Structure 1
Amino acid sequence: MKMYKVLVTDGISQTGLKSLLDHPHFIVDRQPTLPTEELINIIGSYDALIVRSQTKVTDELLQAADRLRVIARAGVGVDNIDVNAATKKGVIVINAPGANTIAATEHTLAMMLALARKIPQAHQKTAGGEWDRNSFKGVELYKKTLGVVGMGKIGTEVAKRAKSFGMNILGFDPYLTEDRAKKLGITKASLDVIAAESDFITVHTPLTNDTRGIINDEYLAKTKKGVRIVNCARGGIIDEKALVRAIQSGHVAGAALDVFEKEPVADPELLQNPNIIVTPHLGASTVEAQEKVAQEVSAEIIDIFETQSIQHAVNMPQMSGETQAKLQPYLLLGDQIGQLVIQLLKKKAPEKININYYGDLIDEDTELLTRTLLRGILSYHLSDSVNLINVLHLLKEQEVSYNVQKNATNKGFANYMELSVSQGAEAARIGATVLNGYGARIVKINEYRIDVKPEKYLLYIKHKDVPGMIGKVGSLLGDYQINIGTMQVGRAEVGGEAIMVLTLDKGLKAEVLRELTLIEGLEEAQLLELTNVDSLEHGHVESQKVESI
Structure 2
Amino acid sequence: MTYKVLVLDPVSEDGISELINHPNYQVDINTGLTEDEIIKIVYDYHAVIVRSQTKITEKIIQHARSLRVIARAGVGVDNIDIDAATKLGVIVVNAPDGNTISATEHTMAMMLSLSRDIPEAHKELSEGVWNRSAHKGVELYGKTLGIIGLGKIGFGVARRAQVFGMKIVAFDPYLSDEKAKESEIEKMEVDEISKVADFVTVHTPLTPQTKGIVGESFFENCKPNLRLINVARGGIIDEADLLTALKEGKIGGAALDVFEEEPPTEMELLSHPNVVVTPHLGASTIEAQEKVAVSISREIIQILENNTIIHAVNAPRISENISKELKPYINISSHMGSVGIQLMKQPPNEIRLKYHGDIAVDDTSMLTRSFIASLLSPHFGEGVNIINALYFLQEQDVTYKVEKKGKTKGYNNYLEVELSNNEENLVLGASVLDGYGERIVKVDEYQVDIKPTRHILIINHIDRPGVIGDMGVILGKHSVNIASMQLGRSNEGGAALLSLSLDSAVSNEALEDLQSIEGFKNVRQVDLQL
Could you tell me the TM-score, scaled by structure 2's length? 0.95
SS of 1:326's equivalent in the other structure is coil
Write the distance in 2 (CA, Å) between the matches of 1:385 and 1:491: 39
Give the alignment's Cα RMSD to 1 decimal.
Answer: 2.0
Deviations 1:435-473 (A, max 9, x none): 334332212111112222222332222122122222322
User: What are the within-5 Å matches in structure 2 for residues 66-81 of structure 1?
Assistant: 66-81=65-80
SS of 2:132's equivalent in the other structure is coil
Are 2:364 and 1:350 aligned?
no
Write the distance in 2 (CA, Å) between the matches of 1:325 and 1:182: 47
TM superposition shift of 1:331: 1.8
SS of 2:322's equivalent in the other structure is helix
What's 1:500 paired with? 498
Deviations 1:512-531 (A, max 9, x none): 3222211222111122223x
What's 1:38 paired with? 37
Write the distance in 2 (CA, Å) between the matches of 1:35 and 1:432: 50
The more displaced of 164-173 and 92-101 is 164-173
Write the distance in 1 (CA, Å) between the matches of 2:486 and 2:264: 48
The more displaced of 425-434 and 321-330 is 321-330
Write the distance in 2 (CA, Å) between the matches of 1:506 and 1:76: 37
Are 2:262 and 1:263 aligned?
yes
Q: How has the CA–CA distance of structure 1 residues 235 and 512 changed in structure 2, closer, same or farther, with 3 Å as cutoff?
A: farther
SS of 1:157's equivalent in the other structure is helix
What's 1:543 paired with? none
**8 Å Cα contact 1:258-1:279 kept in structure 2:** yes
**8 Å Cα contact 1:341-1:420 kept in structure 2:** no
Selected match of 1:519 from 517, 520, 528: 517
What's 2:223 paired with? 224
Deviations 1:67-124 (A, max 9, x none): 1111111111222222222222222111111111111111111111111111222223
Deviations 1:228-251 (A, max 9, x none): 111111222222232223222222
SS of 1:335's equivalent in the other structure is helix
TM superposition shift of 1:15: 1.4
Selected match of 2:395 from 389, 394, 397: 397
What's 1:487 paired with? 485
Unaligned runs of 5+ in 1: 534-549
Deviations 1:378-416 (A, max 9, x none): 333333443333333433333322221122123422222
The code of the aligned residue for 1:239 comes to D
SS of 1:252's equivalent in the other structure is coil
**8 Å Cα contact 2:212-2:236 kept in structure 1:** yes
**8 Å Cα contact 1:146-1:199 kept in structure 2:** yes
The code of the aligned residue for 1:144 comes to K
Deviations 1:146-195 (A, max 9, x none): 11111100000011111221212222222222332343333333434422
**8 Å Cα contact 2:315-2:385 kept in structure 1:** no
Could you tell me the TM-score, scaled by structure 1's length? 0.91
The more displaced of 281-290 and 148-157 is 281-290
Write the distance in 1 (CA, Å) between the matches of 2:225 and 2:509: 32
TM superposition shift of 1:221: 2.4
Write the distance in 2 (CA, Å) between the matches of 1:58 and 1:485: 41
Are 2:80 and 1:88 aligned?
no
TM superposition shift of 1:425: 4.5
The code of the aligned residue for 2:414 comes to Y
TM superposition shift of 1:201: 0.8
**8 Å Cα contact 1:358-1:411 kept in structure 2:** no
What's 2:381 paired with? 383
SS of 2:394's equivalent in the other structure is helix
What's 2:208 paired with? 209
Are 2:339 and 1:340 aligned?
yes
Write the distance in 2 (CA, Å) between the matches of 1:411 and 1:431: 13
The code of the aligned residue for 2:307 comes to Q
Deviations 1:229-283 (A, max 9, x none): 1111122222223222322222211111222233332224412322222222222
What's 1:450 paired with? 448
Deviations 1:264-306 (A, max 9, x none): 3222441232222222222212222121111100011111223
Q: How has the CA–CA distance of structure 1 residues 316 and 121 changed in structure 2, closer, same or farther, with 3 Å as cutoff?
A: same
Write the distance in 1 (CA, Å) between the matches of 2:125 and 2:480: 60
Write the distance in 2 (CA, Å) between the matches of 1:260 and 1:503: 40
The code of the aligned residue for 2:469 comes to G
Write the distance in 1 (CA, Å) between the matches of 2:237 and 2:348: 26
Write the distance in 2 (CA, Å) between the matches of 1:20 and 1:257: 36
**8 Å Cα contact 2:315-2:387 kept in structure 1:** no
Are 2:403 and 1:429 aligned?
no
Equivalent residue pairs, number: 530
**8 Å Cα contact 1:452-1:501 kept in structure 2:** yes
Are 2:141 and 1:172 aligned?
no
User: What are the within-5 Å matches in structure 2 for residues 113-512 of structure 1?
Assistant: 113-346=112-345, 348-512=346-510
TM superposition shift of 1:430: 1.2
SS of 1:57's equivalent in the other structure is coil
Write the distance in 1 (CA, Å) between the matches of 2:409 and 2:378: 29
Write the distance in 1 (CA, Å) between the matches of 2:436 and 2:509: 35
Write the distance in 2 (CA, Å) between the matches of 1:242 and 1:467: 49
**8 Å Cα contact 2:488-2:496 kept in structure 1:** yes
Deviations 1:200-228 (A, max 9, x none): 11111122232222222222222233111
Write the distance in 2 (CA, Å) between the matches of 1:509 and 1:68: 45
TM superposition shift of 1:19: 0.7
SS of 1:300's equivalent in the other structure is helix
Write the distance in 2 (CA, Å) between the matches of 1:430 and 1:507: 22
SS of 1:403's equivalent in the other structure is strand
Write the distance in 2 (CA, Å) between the matches of 1:376 and 1:156: 25
The more displaced of 128-137 and 143-152 is 128-137
SS of 2:27's equivalent in the other structure is strand
**8 Å Cα contact 1:96-1:296 kept in structure 2:** yes
Write the distance in 2 (CA, Å) between the matches of 1:315 and 1:506: 30
Write the distance in 1 (CA, Å) between the matches of 2:481 and 2:259: 36
Deviations 1:13-46 (A, max 9, x none): 2111111001111000011012211211221111
**8 Å Cα contact 1:256-1:277 kept in structure 2:** yes
**8 Å Cα contact 1:226-1:253 kept in structure 2:** yes
**8 Å Cα contact 1:359-1:411 kept in structure 2:** no
Q: How has the CA–CA distance of structure 1 residues 457 and 107 changed in structure 2, closer, same or farther, with 3 Å as cutoff?
A: farther
TM superposition shift of 1:322: 4.1
**8 Å Cα contact 1:342-1:377 kept in structure 2:** yes
TM superposition shift of 1:431: 1.1
Q: How has the CA–CA distance of structure 1 residues 181 and 264 changed in structure 2, closer, same or farther, with 3 Å as cutoff?
A: same
The code of the aligned residue for 2:501 comes to T
